[in-house]
Amino acid sequence: MSNSQTSQAPKRYPAALVLADGRIFRGTSFGKVGTTLGEAVFSTAMTGYQETMTDPSYHRQIVVATAPQIGNTGWNDEDGESHGDKIWVAGLVIRDLSVRVSNWRAKRSLEDEMIAQGIVGIAGVDTRAVVRHLRNFGSIAAGVFSGEDAQRSDEELIAEVKAQPSMEGADLAKEVATEEPYVVEPEGEHRFTVVAYDMGIKTNTPRNFASRGIRTVVVPANTAFEQIKQYNPDGVFVSNGPGDPATADEMVAVVQDVLEAKIPFFGICFGNQILGRALGLETFKMKFGHRGINVPVLNHLTGVIDITAQNHGFALKGEAGKPFQTPYGTAQVTHTCLNDDTVEGVALENGMAFSVQYHPESAAGPHDANPLFDQFVELIERHGASKSNEAEAN
């Protein structure tokens, strides 16, 4: 699709965003015409809708965009963040759909891709009112209904929304993870091998490892520790992903095996919650979560503030400045959000394991946190040197 090319708009139908508490917002259809159910959440990102929609962490969530116009840059073949470029959002709620696509990389419009992948959307909604409602009352079960589906009675629509499974207690990582291991080769010389657990991994994460000379073996969620030994990993990584971390007992046990084996560990987002649980912390469901690319986070170890990309509705319980004991050594909360003091990172004080709640792969988002990949590589280097010294001493 060339700059400023306009695709022919499909026919519009009445549509409704229905919340489980009875609030209904009317608009018009775009994308697939029909019904979709999920948890209504909002993202404060002003750009990067393609990366958001293909992020597996948004599985079973209806995303309300706070940016007033969506679709300007169309859809390209480079910026998808899921394996296979699958759209994972359950639905999309926007104020205004751009009728003109203007980006040199665009191959088609946003709506073209939504129709191709069967994603239901609603436009013409007062998204400011929706976001205010979600901020006041919290993320909530919702549905988008368009065409004939939207003509049913309010009572019927609300009842269908209420009947869907809750996000709290949902074990979703296995639904988005790869079913078979695959390898992302390093760029240039191979330095290390990292096993990455796919809880909903974004494609830019192995790309960041590859640029640092790391071969990434991506394995399905909950793969047993005994099985990953065959790859002789220099480090283990646990990715972002959807669902309630309180259900992830299998993955917590795997991470505890990794810590027991003294293998360098790095986790992000869901991986942060998994490490926290492995160290003995609890998790909870947030009122409306953090979703956007402008969230300020304080590193309590360095005093540095990073502006970060985030997407999570659950968090760890903890407090910075209070070290706590674990079977693997002393641990601490290393990062907190400056907006609400939410825990944003944990680590073992010996440096062998660390994690953050945000997204250093920066797709989309600021690059402030990208050096965390370098921190992981440095940890692997130090650990490898330490093991070599021990072997020589023996």
93 in any annotated domain = yes
CA-based torsion, 104, 291, 241, 141: positive or negative = negative
Residue 238 to residue 249: CA distance in whole angstroms: 14
Q: Are residues 92 and 189 both part of a single domain? A: no
Mean pLDDT rounded to a whole number for the chain: 95
DSSP SS3 for 184: strand
- Report residue 189's pLDDT band, with 50, 70 and 90 as the boundaries: very high
**% of the chain exceeding 70 in pLDDT:** 95
336 in any annotated domain = yes
AA identity, residue 7: S
User: 146, 13 in Cβ contact below 8 A?
Assistant: yes
Q: Are residues 181 and 95 both part of a single domain? A: no
Cα distances from 32 to residues 41, 65, 130, 365, in angstroms, run 20, 18, 21, 28
Angle CA 112–116–121, to nearest 5: 65
Note the pLDDT of residue 24: 98
**Of 162, 193, 216, at which residue does a domain stop?**
162
30 belongs to an annotated ligand binding site: no
What CATH number is attached to the domain comprising 85? 3.50.30.20
243 belongs to an annotated ligand binding site: yes
Note the pLDDT of residue 276: 98
Selection from 59, 17, 55 nearest residue 35 by Cα? 17
Note the pLDDT of residue 4: 45
What CATH number is attached to the domain comprising 342? 3.40.50.880
- Report residue 389's pLDDT band, with 50, 70 and 90 as the boundaries: low
Q: Which residues contact 35 (CB under 8 A, 6 or more apart)?
A: 120, 143, 144, 145, 146, 149, 160
241 belongs to an annotated ligand binding site: yes
Residue 262 to residue 265: CA distance in whole angstroms: 9
383 in any annotated domain = yes
110 in any annotated domain = yes
Note the pLDDT of residue 321: 87
pLDDT digits (tens, 9 = 90+) for 275-302: 999 999 999 999 999 999 999 999 999 9
8 in any annotated domain = no
Residue 361 to residue 376: CA distance in whole angstroms: 13
Residue 204 to residue 210: CA distance in whole angstroms: 10
Q: Are residues 177 and 133 both part of a single domain? A: no
Q: Are residues 236 and 338 both part of a single domain? A: yes
Question: In total, how many domains does the chain have?
Answer: 2
Q: Are residues 89 and 211 both part of a single domain? A: no
pLDDT digits (tens, 9 = 90+) for 142-164: 999 999 999 999 999 999 999 99
Positions marked active-site:
269, 359, 361
**Of 113, 143, 162, at which residue does a domain stop?**
162
Note the pLDDT of residue 3: 45
pLDDT exceeds cutoff 90 at 241: yes
34 in any annotated domain = yes
Residue 19 to residue 38: CA distance in whole angstroms: 10
124 belongs to an annotated ligand binding site: no
270 belongs to an annotated ligand binding site: yes
Residue 269 to residue 137: CA distance in whole angstroms: 24
Q: Are residues 187 and 319 both part of a single domain? A: yes
Q: Are residues 213 and 308 both part of a single domain? A: yes
Mean pLDDT of 385-392: 62
Return the axis-axis angle of helices 270-278 and 249-260, rounded to nearest 10°.
Answer: 70
pLDDT exceeds cutoff 80 at 7: no
**Of 111, 142, 162, at which residue does a domain stop?**
162
How many residues can be counted in the chain?
A: 394
Note the pLDDT of residue 83: 86
293 in any annotated domain = yes
Cα distances from 70 to residues 35, 75, 93, 98, 106, in angstroms, run 21, 11, 10, 6, 14
Q: Are residues 181 and 119 both part of a single domain? A: no
57 belongs to an annotated ligand binding site: yes
Mean pLDDT of 254-271: 98
Domain span including residue 384: 173-393
98 belongs to an annotated ligand binding site: no
Mean pLDDT of 59-65: 98
Mean pLDDT of 103-119: 97
* Residue 3 φ/ψ, nearest 5 degrees: -55, 140
Note the pLDDT of residue 93: 98
Angle CA 362–251–356, to nearest 5: 30
Q: Are residues 155 and 224 both part of a single domain? A: no
9 in any annotated domain = no
pLDDT exceeds cutoff 80 at 386: no
pLDDT digits (tens, 9 = 90+) for 127-144: 999 999 999 999 999 999
Query: Within a 10 A sphere around the Cβ of 319, how many other Cβ atoms?
Result: 11
pLDDT exceeds cutoff 60 at 110: yes
Note the pLDDT of residue 221: 97
Mean pLDDT of 100-128: 97
pTM: 0.94
Q: Are residues 240 and 178 both part of a single domain? A: yes
Beta strands in 4-139 (DSSP E): 14-19, 24-31, 35-43, 61-65, 69-70, 91-93, 96-97, 120-123
- Report residue 178's pLDDT band, with 50, 70 and 90 as the boundaries: very high
311 belongs to an annotated ligand binding site: yes
Beta strands in 256-304 (DSSP E): 265-268, 283-299
